[in-house]
Structure 1
Amino acid sequence: MRRILTEKDVEPAVRGGSVYAAGGGGWADHGRKLGYAAVGAGQPELVSIDELDEEDWVATAAAIGAPASTTPWEMRGTDYIKAVQLLNEALGTPVAGLMVGQNGKSSTLNGWLPASILGCKVVDAVGDIRAHPTGDMGSIGMAGSDEPMIQTAVGGNREQNRYIELVTRGATAKVSPILRTASDMSGGFIASARNPLRAAYVARHAALGGISMALDLGHAILAAEPKGAAAVIDTIVEQTRGAILIEGVITKKDVRYTNEAFDIGTVTVGQGDKALTLHVMNEYMAIDDAGGNRIASFPDVITTLSPDAEPLSVGQLREGMRIHILHVPKSVIPLGAGVLDPAVYPPCERAMGIELAKYALEATHG
């Protein structure tokens, strides 16, 4: 499977990515800017992993931070390119392809511009179909590995002299927090290229076809839009093989930004014994019912939609808003090794004060 990505794919990538953003995953306008710059500058090519040689290097193009917050972030397309250039220099050879750690409003398109400029491929693989709070979750099984990895970060608010270029080497779990700190110091959002791995490893451990899933969903959304919001929501449910858990009003929002560049807290929808609580760490990570029973949990896709069928980020939610909550169980999506790695869950469980690993690591098919 090979296809040249064109301007007709930019909006679908943003739209489909916005559903899989699960309340995070960057900014839609940032994604459009990246996408149109990429297809204007060259011809980024989307390829399946089997189009590469097994020994080819594939790195993850990522954006790190919590841009749903009100921080003074600034990230330019050139930052994504520079991050890959720094990685290539540190690796001693150019990467053949770029995958992304997750889908999202902009993250689905993170690899397009550096691929267009530097001549590598956009690999149809993601670390996680949905967006997630930590780089380890998209690191396709490297979080628990002692193997030294290269991770770079580039970006920052230029006016405030927050621009940073960073090249780190070390075990993924030890290096990832350094990049999160750099993200916070840069203004809350930073471009990254990380974890160069052989294509053979990516083929075994990534969620394959993840970019195509976002593109296909986006094209279906755009096709349904002339029929109205209800038709779009129906299309999203059908295309993702999910379900709407509730249509209700946000009765409480308690989310705070931390200096680790995380938005953490809860959002309550509905009242009394029908109320649902969304647990947030940048993205929606879990849903409990009024009795405290877990009814959806990462890596399930959990997304909030407005009555107009717009996927809403955590930062857009306000008390009194009416929303739909979409739930796509993990059993119907490809799962990357990162979300099946027990090592990725303790930091999130500590930060959120809830259990995640128990639900994430149980059998995916009953």
Structure 2
Amino acid sequence: MEVLKMIINSTDIQKIAAGSLILGGGGGGNVQEGLDTAAKALQMGQVEILPASDISNKDGVVLTISGVGSPASENAFYADDVYEKILHFMQTQLEQNIIGFIPCEMGGSSSFEPFIPAALLNLPVINSACDGRAHPFGIMGSLGLEKGENHTIQAGAGGRKEDNTYIEILTMGTIEATSDLIRNTASKAGGAIAVARNPISLTWLEEAGATGAYDLAYQLGEAYLSGSTPADSLNKISPLVDGTILCRGIVREYTLHTENALDNGHFTVSTDGSDYKMYFFNEYMALERDGTRLHTFPDLLLTVDAADGRILSTAEIENGREVIVFAAPKEKMILGKGLRYRSTYRRIEEILKIDMQKYISDIFLD
């Protein structure tokens, strides 16, 4: 079955949602919000996923649509009408037509962020993403635009007017500067905003993007939903990503800090005489067993509720909860170019106080 070329229906949404939640790796947004977004998009119009090769107008630009913010924030909110506003902001600055949309990353809500803009403008969602798994920083989903003399445009909106947190922003400049402003805006808006950003050509997307990201999400979701127990569901997805169930145990010493709309912290899963320590920065960043590093982002790390099989975000972890920990190597992820530069990992290392770069040096372009 060729998944990458399809008009989306409600069954497809369920499979993409489950697979995207897996690829969220502890982040990627709230899956119910993603399902709601997808349902609203289908009420507005048709949503079609197409490969880049099927886009007839090769001269236009592709926009990234994403939500930016903290998974743990209780005040995060943006209404559906913000999509029209941010698209309008972008169109006032663009010399070329918009020809399609992609998500910044694959995740429970982030995979569906392009759906409403696609339905509103009757344009396709392209079967690609800035990154085929979720990541913490906007710059990691910038397709390598941060290198060289590239400047970009980003538009965002979110918050609640009734409590005076609503805010809109249109910013132009370097990827780093505009991404920092967007992140700051999300914090001011109560935790999250919707963003349209980084107009690029199809050629750039094909060279730097995560081609086939929706394929993998669909296949993972279909496999996971076919399982009869939490462990069986994980075993179903294992062949697709060379994954392994690492342990089943009780969460202890959970810590969470939120700063500038980003969550960070760590916790331990105790089992069979071993302690598995997991570090997160929105998404899971590293796992150690009894002090020995086993996995480092962009390896995929996943926590599943051992009782009901619910895939848990880092913000949903709590002490005393029994979880199953699953891991898959980065070689089986569809990584965008934005993850392949050392500088994007330094801030995470500083805040979490762990080494990352030395464990993943084989992916770097610099």
TM-score over 0.5 (shorter chain)? yes
Query: 1:57 matched to which residue of 2?
Result: 61
Q: Distance in 1 between matches of 2:142 and 2:215?
A: 19
Moved over 3 A (4+): none
Contact 2:278 2:288 in 1 (8 A): yes
Match for residue 324 of structure 1? 324
Give the match for residue 241 of structure 2. Answer: 240
**Aligned partners of 2:69 and 2:76 also within 8 Å:** no
Of 219, 244, 247 in structure 1, the residue corresponding to residue 222 of structure 2 is 219
Question: Structure 1 residues 354, 222: closer, same or farther in 2, change over 3 A?
Answer: same
- Taking a change above 3 Å as real, the CA distance of residues 89 and 126 of structure 1, as seen in their structure-2 partners, is same
Q: Supply the AA of the counterpart residue of 2:327.
A: H
| Structure 1, unaligned runs of 5 or more | none
Q: Does 1:285 align with 2:289?
A: no
Q: Identify the residue that residue 253 of structure 1 maps to in structure 2.
A: 254
Structure 1 length-normalised TM: 0.93
Q: How far, CA to CA, are the matches of 1:82 and 1:290 in structure 2?
A: 50
Q: Does residue 51 of structure 2 align to residue 48 of structure 1?
A: yes
- Say whether 1:68 aligns with 2:69: no
Q: Which residue of 2 aligns with 1:230?
A: 231
Q: Structure 2: give runs of 5+ residues left out of the alignment.
A: none
Structure 2 counterpart of 1:267: 267
Is residue 114 of structure 1 aligned with residue 113 of structure 2?
no
- Residue by residue over 1:247-289, the C-alpha shift from the partner in whole angstroms, topping out at 9 and shown as x without a partner, is 111121011111x111111111116961111111111111122
CA contact (8 A) 2:60 2:97 kept: no
Deviation, structure 1 residue 217: 1.6
Distance 1:152 1:23, change over 3 A: same
1:1-366 matches, within 5 Å, as 1-52=4-55, 53-70=57-74, 72-224=75-227, 227-258=228-259, 260-270=260-270, 274-291=274-291, 293-307=292-306, 308-362=308-362
Deviation at 1:320, TM superposition (A): 1.0
Contact kept in structure 2, 1:63 and 1:191, CA below 8 Å: yes
- Cα distance in 2 between the residues matched to 1:138 and 1:357: 18
1:173-225 C-alpha deviation (Å, 9 max, x unpaired):
1111110000000010110011111110100111111112112222222333x
* More displaced 10-residue stretch of structure 1: 8-17 or 269-278: 269-278
How far apart, in 1, do the equivalents of 2:278 and 2:221 lie?
A: 25
8 A Cα contact 2:61 2:100, kept in partner: yes
Q: Measure the CA separation in 2 of the matches of 1:152 and 1:58.
A: 14
Q: Find the aligned partners of 2:214 and 2:26 in 1 and give their Cα distance.
A: 18
Alpha-carbon distance between aligned partners in 1 of 2:320 and 2:161, rounded to the nearest angstrom: 37
SS in 2 for 1:75: coil
Residues 71, 263 of structure 2: 8 Å contact kept? no
- Percent of residue pairs bearing the same amino acid type: 29
